[in-house]
Structure 1
């Protein structure tokens, strides 16, 4: 597996998994697949009462699964846009991720995909403030939110 584990910027995190660029696009896809499998395996075996650290706050396994989904969707979109490709993820998947991680986001102004792109600071939506420099998700279960 073409993993690389090191800080690539002064003061940057050393605990970030990266794909080794020497292995090209095929290596990147192998790393993405392996990381998705690792996340799925951990989510599958983690008891529902367990919470773990995330920079945006403690979350349960389902919260981490939703984070993985959002990261996969928005970064796939970043790649598609960079390559000039049209790409839209399944609406139901996006809606579930929005419901789980962005309970404060209005859901009646646009379909789920543009709303998720707005919620993660990637686009604007009419009548809503720009979130490019200030978005966060909430990985806590709904019953634990204040």
Structure 2
């Protein structure tokens, strides 16, 4: 497989976050309290979680030697029992526009950090230590699938770029045989849907690349 088939970088993160913001903007504030797809979180909570993912991924590479066996010692909390435990929360008074602004800012931070971090740097993830390109791919997957969750709750249509879906499948899901539409395969690989020949997954994971 040519390396170009799996290359992911900060500009891919910036692009997918921009597309997500464009799809989700304009929804009324009450709509953000609906459940996000099949998740137990609301659309608002899910977007905070996504912003939190992007921020904490970026923060790892702010260190000259990121930890490879533990998370950074941020204090996390949840607004309610059953809600996501985050570092990042958005001022409710800022409304949906403020929520999307924070997402865009965290995506931009992630993109900027990826551009300046040496490719051999390795940092911790629960699925195994990974390099900047691996974290770029994780950020893209998080954005793709959580935008799907939120779009379901907001009754929006989200149809991301298939070539980007295919690249992250090849990068992080080498165990998945891609047949047909790459986006539908990614939704299956992340437990969001069934495929005609494959039941919906109740457990799933990805495999980040570790630099040696």
TM-score, normalised via structure 2 length? 0.59
Q: Deviations over 1:55-102 (max 9, x none)?
A: 111111011111111111111111211122222001111111111111
Counting strand residues as a fraction of each chain, which structure ranks higher? 1
**Where does structure 1 lack aligned partners over 5 or more consecutive residues?**
none
Does 2:186 correspond to 1:139? Answer: no
2:165 counterpart residue number? 94
Q: How many residues align?
A: 139
Q: CA deviation at 1:130?
A: 2.6
In structure 2, distance between residues paired with 1:68 and 1:15:
16
Q: CA deviation at 1:33?
A: 0.6
**Where does structure 2 lack aligned partners over 5 or more consecutive residues?**
1-50, 53-74
CA separation of 1:13 and 1:125: change in aligned 2, threshold 3 A = closer
**Superposition RMSD on alpha carbons, in Å?**
2.6
CA separation of 1:14 and 1:116: change in aligned 2, threshold 3 A = closer
TM-score, normalised via structure 1 length? 0.83
In structure 2, distance between residues paired with 1:129 and 1:81:
20
Q: Moved runs in structure 1, 4+ residues, more than 3 A?
A: 3-6, 12-15
Higher RCO (CA-CA < 8 Å; seq separation 6+) = 2
In structure 2, distance between residues paired with 1:31 and 1:40:
14
Q: Deviations over 1:84-140 (max 9, x none)?
A: 2222001111111111111111112x3100000011110011222432x31111111
